[in-house]
Amino acid sequence: MTEIHKKIKEMINKNKVILFMKGTPEMPQCGFSMTVCNILKQLKINFFSVNVLADELVRQGIKEFSNWPTIPQLYVNGTFIGGCDIVKEMFENGDLEKTLKK
């Protein structure tokens, strides 16, 4: 495992809910990142966010880490949940809330 993948793994293990996104929850820089932030806010979930635009290594590393080519990426309890489409789908069918409250 490369240095950056180790660092990513550490962050994911340390934070129950962690979102890799473009921008910050206060000022998202991409509509897809904003959608996921809004869903988490609506569910009143505290989450740790990582702005991939501030760190090119993390931006590339996170894509390889989960074999997932796009941002945002949501992780809960150390597990990759998905990107914007999956989070939205899970929010609408109630699975997201169940997963977050585990």
Partner 1 sequence: MAISKEELFGLLKAGFPDGEIKIDDLAGDNNHYAAFIKSSKFNGKNKVQQHQMVYAALKGKMGNELHALALTTEEIK
Which residues are at the interface with partner 1 (CB under 8 A)? Answer: 32, 63, 67-70, 80-86, 89-90
Which DSSP letter does residue 48 get? E
Instruction: Give me the least distance between CB of 82 and partner 1, in Å please.
Output: 5
Q: Which is nearer to partner 1, 10 or 89 (CB)?
A: 89
Instruction: Give me the least distance between CB of 22 and partner 1, in Å please.
Output: 12
5, 65 contact by CB (below 8 A): yes
Q: Which is nearer to partner 1, 40 or 87 (CB)?
A: 87
51, 42 contact by CB (below 8 A): no
How far CA 26 is from CA of 23, 76, 81, in Å, comes to 8, 21, 22
Query: What letter represents residue 69's amino acid?
Result: P
Instruction: Give me the least distance between CB of 2 and partner 1, in Å please.
Output: 19
